A and B are shown apart, each in its own frame.
Chain A
Amino acid sequence: MSNTADLSLLQPVLDEYAGVKGSLITILQSAQEIYGYLPQEVIYHVAEATGSSPAHVLGVATFYTQFRFKPVGKYLILLCKGTACHVNGSDMIAKTIYETLGITDGETTEDGLFSLTFVACLGCCSLSPVMLINDDTYGSLTPEKVKSIISEIQAKEAAV
């Protein structure tokens, strides 16, 4: 097991919730915020700190779609697959992202720049189809629009 995550970063969270029953999901959410995903050593560490087994912690974590077990790219694309987005063509948007970046649900580009995750509903149904890139929402998407949004980001990154 590689041990690369700095576990001390999680200590304040573990201290805050020490002895507070029912806090496992909250602790895992904080951990994901710190590390960007849930590395295996963090799962083991949380299990030890909360007095449960790694299997139990992983069982809870894998149950919920929010948790990731692989690092994500610098730009996390959340593509909405809600009903309104489906009706307004989110499949075409997923296809465009695949054609442009070569990634689909749960994958990251080789350069580590983009990750794609399908989500159930972002609740912006009137702007469908919608995607969220980090904190920015992009609505009324078309294949052209998606391509230009991605190339803008790529250009910005290339300039850095």
Chain B
Amino acid sequence: MSYTIINVGQGSCGIAAGAGKVKKVLDEKLAGSGINVGIVGCIGMCWLEPIVDVYENGVLHRLVKVNENSAEEIAAAVAADDFAALSKYEITADDKDFLDQQTRIALRNCGIIDPESIEAYINAGGYKALEKVVTTMTQQQVIDEIKTSGLAGRGGAGFPTWFKWNAANQSAGETKYLICNADEGDPGAFMDRAVIESDPHTLIEGMLIAAYAIGASEAVVYVRAEYPLAIVRLKKAIAQAKEAGYIGKNIFGTDFSCEFTIKAGAGAFVCGEETALIASLEGERGMPRLKPPFPAQKGYWQKPSNINNVETFANVAWIINNGGAAFAAMGTENSKGTKVFALTGKIKRGGLVEIPMGKTLRDVIFGIGGGIKEDKQFKAVQMGGPSGGCIPEQLLDTVIDYKELSATGAIMGSGGMVVMDETTCMVGMAKFFLDFTAKESCGKCVHCRIGTKRMQEILTRIVEGNGREGDIELLEELCSAVKEGALCGLGQTAPNPVLTTIKYFRNEYEAHINNKKCPAHECRDLISYSIDADKCRGCTLCAKKCPAKAISGEVKTPHTIDPDVCIKCGQCATVCRFGAVKVD
């Protein structure tokens, strides 16, 4: 009998895809067999979920797209020691390539260890870095090591981490706070959720090291309320770390003490901004304030505070264990180490990707991501969420680096990478983001509050076919006013999606405004459906599927669409097997 271990991936995505049911089947079928079914977090290959890892004497069989039926077969095969039977569920070499092309530091344990077990983390080398720091290093040595690594804030702004730690360390005061920003608000980014769900102790260890470096005895995690599983796992991990003595008084027998609390955010994108986050932690409306004073001087409860993002902390223990120089050896001159991206949208292999800085966008999208779904034409990639921009095809060879990406008009941001194909309307995309920022503007600055609203209105009339001559110029003028007139990053960057789409896709704006056409055939008010009489065989399928009953015609004769009744849902085009439905 082989020595067998089975792990089921149980991140939010995996569970949503049915991993919970799969685990239940495996548990039931293997009860009494002596083979335990464990859980791991998210490996980041979301398109293959649910994923079951079976280790046969230490050799991994990664089984993908498992469902309740295949789980029964898998259980039977494992119980019978027949591993050859698993081959039909195993990951293909092509898909495996997705992981092989990555360099995982922040995600090093994700999908590999049990996120609910501190022993699993310790067995993977966990808390060694903390021990080294508190027992052998001075605060300054820790800060210097981080400086050597070149680690920069992974939440978006890319500010050098050591500089913030140093400022908080140098700030006078007995009480200092260490805060983790886990309010991952960028739509399209989910790496922070994955880290907390899959490897919460990495975050805790990174935070403890930072707390030691700045001299904080209290650590707070501000996490999105929309991430219930992350909150559950983090709470559990904190309790375990407390029990084991990594959190609490006199850690490793030293003078260093640190307590942890979790605060659930209540849903406000602006709370990603440091001063707004602090206001929210204090139970107030999350509105940003003028800096200086910076949080390092006057932060949470007016005390020196340091705020970093989850992914930033997730790199810290690795840097301490392997040395800052090893981290800095990866990347470019301006951007060191690795970065995690959430690759989504019209991509074949979507998921979490961690790569060294310096790779190109093409490497990620076409190399790791496998290209565009259904082999359609790539149009743009959106980076940096509502603060970022759309990068067109001609810039696909742009290197992943804070400076290089900013030069395109987009930003590195927190690492959302949403891929768009020929069917995505770029004006619609700009409107989508302005809908978001207009809603999320906290209202403090007039330019942001009213400017985003006016931009949203202009974009809405353009996609509805009521665009006017001069609208593009008006948008540009508003963009510069909002950029200049806003206090915080939300307003200062809110125009980026509009500016980049105008810069690279001006023709689409012009087509909407001047010709009342949507080149991507997405804006419903600007398209019409008709049936090509030469191609239509009169199969009646479209007429049957049409929810508005807008299609008429006799069997075996060409059908017609009544444009007054048509709701432009596109069902007819989807079901037609002869390509007879035309969109214009």
Contacts and interface: CB of A to CB of B under 8 A. Distances in A.
A10 to B, nearest CB: 16
Contacts of A130: 16
Interface in B435-471: 436, 440, 442
B248 interface: no
A127 B49 CA distance: 10
B439 to A, nearest CB: 8
Interface in B318-364: 342, 344-346, 350-351
A47 to B, nearest CB: 13
Interface stretch (A1-9, A69-77, A80-88, A149-157): A80-88
A121 B188 contact: yes
A60 B285 CA distance: 5
A109 B283 CA distance: 33
A119 B16 CA distance: 17
B409 interface: no
B264 A29 contact: yes
A126 B284 contact: no
B186 A121 contact: yes
A22 B227 CA distance: 22
Nearest to B547: A99
Interface in B1-59: 12-13, 15-17, 46-47, 49
B153 interface: no
B18 to A, nearest CB: 10
A83 B416 contact: yes
B432 A65 contact: no
A67 interface: yes
Contacts of A99: 547
Interface in A7-47: 21-26, 28-29
Nearest to A27: B283
B345 A66 contact: no
Given A84-B188, A88-B345, A122-B226, A23 B283 contact: yes
Nearest to A62: B285
Contact of B187 (A60, A82, A88, A95): A82
Nearest to A147: B547
B119 interface: no
Contacts of A86: 187, 429, 432
B15 A126 contact: no
A128 B286 CA distance: 29
B505 to A, nearest CB: 15
A96 to B, nearest CB: 9
A128 B424 CA distance: 15
A25 B280 contact: yes
A120 interface: yes
Interface stretch (B65-73, B203-211, B265-273, B476-484): B265-273
Contact of B344 (A59, A119, A128): A128
A54 interface: no
B344 A139 contact: no
Given A82-B188, A121-B187, A139 B266 contact: no
A125 B416 CA distance: 10
A63 B285 contact: yes
A84 B13 CA distance: 14
A137 B346 contact: no
A139 B46 CA distance: 12
B436 A63 contact: no
Contact of B13 (A87, A92, A95, A127): A127
Contacts of B282: 21-22
Nearest to B191: A123
A83 B46 contact: no
A124 B569 contact: no
A48 B265 CA distance: 23
B385 A83 contact: yes
Interface string A132-150: 0000011100010000000
Contacts of B559: none
B268 A65 contact: yes
B30 to A, nearest CB: 26
Contact of A66 (B189, B225, B436, B547): B225
Interface in B345-404: 345-346, 350-351, 382, 385
A81 B351 CA distance: 18
A92 B574 CA distance: 14
A82 to B, nearest CB: 3
Interface in B258-295: 263-269, 280-286
Contacts of B286: 63-64
A146 to B, nearest CB: 13
B512 interface: no
A20 B192 CA distance: 29
Contacts of A83: 187-188, 344-345, 382, 385, 416, 418, 432-433
A20 B432 CA distance: 40
A120 B266 CA distance: 12
B190 interface: yes
Contacts of A59: 285
A28 B280 CA distance: 13
B185 interface: yes
B420 A87 contact: yes
B83 to A, nearest CB: 29
Contacts of A125: 46, 188-190, 342, 344-345, 350, 418
Nearest to B44: A126
B184 interface: yes
Interface in B111-135: none
A126 B47 contact: yes
A22 B569 contact: no
B193 interface: yes
Contacts of B344: 83-84, 87, 125-126, 128
A127 B346 CA distance: 11
B545 to A, nearest CB: 10
Interface in B408-442: 416, 418-420, 424, 429, 432-433, 436, 440, 442
Nearest to B386: A83
Nearest to B570: A92
A32 B429 CA distance: 34
A121 B320 CA distance: 34
A22 B284 CA distance: 8
Nearest to B373: A88
A64 B283 contact: no
B187 A29 contact: no
Closest 5 pairs (CB-CB, A-B): A126-B46, A82-B187, A137-B16, A64-B266, A24-B283
5 contacts: A60-B284, A64-B286, A123-B12, A126-B350, A127-B17
Given A125-B345, A128-B345, A137-B12, 9 more contacts: A60-B284, A66-B225, A83-B432, A84-B188, A85-B187, A87-B346, A87-B418, A124-B12, A127-B46
